[in-house]
Amino acid sequence: MTTRSLGPFQVSPIGLGCMNLSHAYGQPPSLEDAERLLLRALDLGVTLFDTAALYGFGANETLVGQVLAKHRQKFTLASKCGMQGVGFPDGVKRVIDGRPETLRATCEDSLRRLQTEVIDLYYLHRWDKQVPIEESVGALGDLVRAGKIRSVGLSEVSAHTLRRAHAEHPIAAVQTEYSLWTRNPEIAVLDTCAELGVAFVAFSPVARGFLTGQVRDVSALDAKDIRRAMPRFAPATYAANLGLLDGVAEVAREAGCSLAQLALAWLLQRAPHIIPIPGTTRLDHLEENLGALQVTLSAAQMARLDQVINRHTVQGPRYNPGNQVEIDTEEFSA
């Protein structure tokens, strides 16, 4: 398998987003099934595993540590801080907190759960806008110097914030949603990453299942599935967006690949500093996703995909207003 640069590391061109194994998309798989998937990814050559303190409120880091600690030298480990679960009388709630003392404490908790002495790439999961980005990133830089982490990343930030952060401490990667149906990074941050030598890690590269063509009826989603709160997955909006898949499927047939492979191949060919991290709970989907590495799209096919599905043809914002205020990513004007 070829590799792509991520800070000081060389990683597989497609990584594994581990969130699905503990969080966000309904009932997670059993421990046995999750372990089987993580180990199969490692066997297939995946060398970038991505988790976070938030996922399952620590459960995902615990899972990754329990399963992969004995294989620690075989992969690059990424986790995130600055957004985690905090206990309240009525239950655990998600809290954004980028204060240096919180980031230091979260890192210690993550190291313990992950059963490792050092985290290779540690992202600020969300910029806490009550704390200057320089303070949060400065604290992460202190963790690098202390040997707790090896490199610093940011998630869901604008090009302007990236530049401020990079001036404080070198940023190895920016992680943001990017796919055929989410083009916001193309406004500025994707090019800024290339200019600064920062890897761009694309989460939700198959559009939370939309680009696989296998999510047809959103009313069947689990009651706790986070997509139920996303405007693009509202029944009427989603039904309209499904019509876009006909043109996408036509290109996939020509390329001799599945829809998911097409979506991932499109990302891989957009730029060499892009590293998609699809998540899944199924072995067959894991193997299908990695098959995208064998897909080559022509310039004409890339252009047709851009014509069929883009910011003008996709209906609905990706986040509801409550989640939108939490991010710093550039947005297209209406």
Domain ranges in the chain are 4-225+259-295
Per-residue pLDDT reduced to its tens digit, 124-168? 999 999 999 999 999 999 999 999 999 999 999 999 999 999 999
- Position 84 scores a pLDDT of 86
Q: Is 55 a catalytic residue?
A: yes
Long-range CB pairs of 108-112, under 8 A, 24+ apart, other chains included = 108/148, 109/53, 109/58, 110/53, 110/61, 110/79, 110/81, 111/148
pLDDT at 88: 66
**What SS3 state is found at 283?**
helix
Report which of 211, 205, 219, 227 is spatially closest to residue 26, judged by C-alpha positions.
227
Helices (H), 115-183: 133-145, 159-168
Q: Which residues pair with 17 in a beta bridge?
A: 50
Q: State the catalytic residue, choosing from 55, 178, 238, 319.
A: 55
pLDDT of residue 85: 82
Regions in the chain scoring below 50 on pLDDT: none
Query: What pLDDT is stored for residue 93 in this prediction?
Result: 83
What Cα–Cα distance (Å) separates residue 288 from each residue in 39, 44, 233, 260, 298?
16, 11, 24, 8, 20
Residue 279 burial (C-beta neighbours within 10 Å; 0-12, 13-18, 19+) = buried
pTM: 0.96
Q: Which amino acid is at 276?
A: P
293 CB burial (10 A radius; 0-12, 13-18, 19+): middle
Residue 24: its pLDDT value, please? 87
Question: What is the per-residue pLDDT across 79-92, written as a single tens digit (0 to 9) for each?
Answer: 999 998 887 667 67
pLDDT confidence of residue 334? 66
Instruction: Please give the pLDDT value at position 310.
Output: 95
Q: Identify the CATH class of 4-225+259-295.
A: alpha beta
